[in-house]
Structure 1
Amino acid sequence: MTPPPGWYPDPHAPHQQRWWDGAAWTEHRRAPEAPAAVPPPDGGTGGTGRTGRTGRTKVIVLTAAGAVLAGAIAVGAVALGGGDDGGTETRTAPSAPSPPSSRTPSPAPPTSPAPSGGDPAVVEDQLNGLTFPLLDGWVLPRNVAQDDVVMTTDGTYDCPGGVGLCRHGMVFSRTVTENDEKSPEVLAEADISEAADEAFDRDALGNEPYGGMESHRVVKSGPVAVAGRAGYLVRWRVETAEGPGGYVQSLAFASSVGTQSPVLVRYVFDAGEDGPPLADMDRITKGIRPIGDADTGGGVGSSIGPAD
């Protein structure tokens, strides 16, 4: 028996509560006294409205932590009055399942995204001090093998190359630590080829989910302001042996926290009618903000225009 879904003390951060989905820990956390947004089964779009549009429905369930935990408390021995001799009869009630223990999987590292302040329309990258808008059709990453994933499109499909499962869209955020380069243009230009190879050529196991990458062309490049910082992006249209191919974009800019190390954000979109709208690349970029500063946006002299 396992505990029912609910908020329980985080075994690795007792001052917080963490959502247990009935089988495993999720990445949803809250302060004990805070109202909770119960994570929806699909990983957490929280609704169907696109950021900046109407139609998003937010379902918020206010649940007291004590009420959830009450069902998981084992009932101890119950002493009941006996017969005329004044003795007592001791009866032991069956134990209810205990809350998940610290033997459950460890919490994800700081780079793992989480809803920001309970808002299902915003995802936090705490390591880089950023928030990303979670648009319609995008969800928090679940069961994703790659590192540094901020969000994915909802659902999977059989890869065109006949190997494994693919997703129509993914967004990654990582810190540049392997060199001392600070120029956003140099970093984006250097990253785009690797990003395309990892997305559409061969995966980490050497498989070719899309039958291999056959060609590419640059469809967009240039300076852009990101979270009030000067950045640079490069976007490729990729042709693959199987399937409609796709788009990959490398975006580099200086972080606004810590050592201000450069941040690389990669976008991987399938092409074709099943892929996410290409305009989502620009919408997500425009919506990137420093944590706690929702008003910081693009800078003077830098803009994002339509592809091609």
Structure 2
Amino acid sequence: MTTPPGWYRDPSAPHTERWWDGTAWTEHRRTPGTQQQPQQLHQQYPQQQPYPQQYGVAPTVPVPAPSAGGSGRAKAVALTIAAAVLVAAIVTGAVVLGKDDGDPGAATAPTASVPAGAPSSASGSAEPSADPGLVVDELNGITLPLLDGWARPKNVSDTDVVMTTPGTYDCPGDDGLCRHGTVISRTVTANDERSTAALARDDISDAADLAYDRNRIDERPFGGITSHRLVEQGQVAVAGRTGYFVRWRVRTEAGPGGYVQSMAFPSSVGSESLVMVRYVFDAGAEGPPLADMDRITKGIRPVGDQDTGGGVGSDIGPSQ
């Protein structure tokens, strides 16, 4: 069985929690503590069996005790059932432990010692009621407001997508389906740059190319980019942290083009890795309101702390 992604006790540092991405440990760590459970995680990994059953530990089967006046045969039946349950548990555990196949990663995967903050799909704990107005990105420690006209991602191959406009349309360039708006949240891991301004300026070109020039499967859904211009850039407060954003207006060979924004800021959890949020909005009447970029940014909060301020224009410090 595969352990779902989530925060688990770090095998190399028992007093901290570490992010398990479903196949391997990442470098994201945090202090143990109860956090709001992610909505997207439970959508992608539906509720499973409680953890002990999932990993091969036989459930306890109650054996009715014979009454005081019971016969010796009843006592023998009860003892036989109890022995069968014990043997089944031993055999099941041996089979599961014997399936390591020499994989060095099997010994370091999350074990039955599940921390309080682990997802309920792994621990079997009750899931808090989900807020329909929020999208939770637990890895990066933020929640994003789900505005009117936006929806949780469906049938989207990019796992970093946190919300889209509902529905699709036929791309004006190469064959395929396009969306009028997309918001992406990901951890910056490709370089050691710590300046949010430098990261946002470097990312905007890649974000524009991927959205409107040539996609990951080498298609050109809009016929390619013909030109772009800088609309706005500067410091911005996101979830109480100082970040930086760059916004471009992109024109394409086919279709109305669009607006692309790259925004970098430090996460407020774990090792405080830098986070990049990308906005891709089609231009024209069919695209989402450009003001939604600022509204979503202003509504980003740390996970589990919806009262924290830090929207656009507040808590701005020196440029990083």
8 Å contact kept, 1:116–1:122: no
Could you tell me whether the CA contact under 8 Å between 1:225 and 1:297 is conserved in 2?
no
> Of the candidates 248, 257, 260, which is equivalent to residue 269 of structure 2?
257
Q: Is residue 39 of structure 2 the alignment partner of residue 27 of structure 1? A: no
CA distance in 2, matches of 1:216, 1:116: 44
**Which residue does 1:297 correspond to in 2?**
309
1:116–1:123 contact (8 Å) kept in structure 2: no
Alignment of 1:94-109 (within 5 A): none
In structure 1, distance between residues paired with 2:128 and 2:271: 23
Q: Does structure 2 retain, via aligned residues, the 8 Å contact 1:222–1:232?
A: yes
Distance of 1:278 and 1:129 partners within structure 2: 25
- 1:148: how far off? 0.4
CA drift at 1:12: 5.9
Q: What's the counterpart of residue 168 of structure 1?
A: 180
Among 205, 220, 232, the residue aligned to 1:193 = 205
CA positional deviation for 1:164: 0.2
Letter of the structure 1 residue corresponding to residue 276 of structure 2: L
Q: Using a 3 Å threshold, how does the CA distance of structure 1 residues 261 and 296 change in structure 2: closer, same or farther?
A: same
Of 131, 135, 138, which residue of structure 2 is paired with 1:119? 131
For residues 192-216 of structure 1, the C-alpha deviation after alignment (integer angstroms, 9 at most, x for no partner) is 0000000000011111000101100
Match of 1:232 in 2: 244
Whether the 8 Å contact between 1:175 and 1:261 is mirrored in structure 2 is yes
Matched letter for residue 298 of structure 2: K
Change (3 A) 1:290 1:270: same
- Which structure carries more helix by proportion? 2
Which residue in the other structure is 2:281 paired with? 269
d(CA) in 2 for partners of 1:286 and 1:30? Answer: 32
Where structure 2 has 5 or more consecutive residues not aligned to the other structure, the ranges are 5-38, 50-118, 120-126
The aligned residue for residue 147 of structure 1 is 159
* TM-align CA RMSD: 2.5
1:158 to 170, 182, 187: 170
8 Å contact from structure 1 (residues 251, 264) kept in 2: yes
Query: How many pairs align?
Result: 202
Q: Where does residue 223 of structure 2 map in the other structure?
A: 211
The residue type paired with residue 120 of structure 1 is: P
Mapped to 1, the partners of 2:250 and 2:259 lie a distance apart of 6
2: CA distance between counterparts of 1:141 and 1:286?
Answer: 21
Answer yes or no: is the 8 Å Cα contact 2:241–2:315 preserved in 1.
no
Question: For residue 253 of structure 2, what is the aligned residue in structure 1?
Answer: 241
Flag the 1:228–1:31 CA change in 2: closer, same or farther, 3 A.
farther
Corresponding letter in the other structure for 2:44: E
Q: CA deviation at 1:30?
A: 7.1
Structure 1 unpaired stretches of 5+: 1-9, 14-18, 20-24, 33-109, 303-308
Q: Equivalents in 2 of 1:142, 1:228: separation in Å?
A: 30
Deviation, structure 1 residue 176: 0.7
Distance 1:290 1:212, change over 3 A: same
Which of the two has greater strand per residue?
1
Residues 173, 254 of structure 2: 8 Å contact kept: yes
Out of 165-174 and 116-125, give the one that drifted further: 116-125
Residue 138 of structure 1 aligns to a residue whose secondary structure is coil
Pair 175,11 (structure 1): closer, same or farther in 2 beyond 3 Å: closer
Per the normalisation by structure 2, the TM-score is: 0.59
Which structure would you say has the larger RCO, counting Cα contacts within 8 Å and 6 or more residues apart? 2
Amino acid corresponding to residue 300 of structure 1 in structure 2: D
Evaluate the alpha carbon distance shift between residue 116 and residue 218 of structure 1 in structure 2; reply closer, same or farther with a 3 A threshold.
Answer: farther
Q: How much has 1:225 moved relative to structure 2?
A: 0.3
Give % identity.
Answer: 62
**Shift in Å at residue 152 of structure 1?**
0.4
Cα distance in 2 for partners of 1:26, 1:256 equals 24
Equivalent residues of 1:116, 1:124 under 8 A apart: no
Check 1:175–1:122 CA distance in 2 against 1; reply closer, same or farther (3 A cut): same
Indicate how the Cα distance of structure 1 residues 26 and 225 shifts in structure 2: closer, same or farther if over 3 A, else same.
Answer: closer
Post-superposition Cα deviations, 1:140-188, rounded to whole Å, max 9, x if no partner, equal 1111122300100000000011420000000000101121111110100
Deviation by residue 1:218-258 (Cα, 9 ceiling, x = unmatched): 00100000000000000000000000000000000000011
Whether the 8 Å CA contact 1:168–1:270 is kept in 2: the answer is: yes
SS in 1 for 2:133: strand
Using the TM superposition, give the Cα deviation of residue 280 of structure 1 relative to its aligned residue in structure 2, in angstroms.
0.3
- Please say which of residues 138-147 and 257-266 is displaced more in the overlay: 138-147
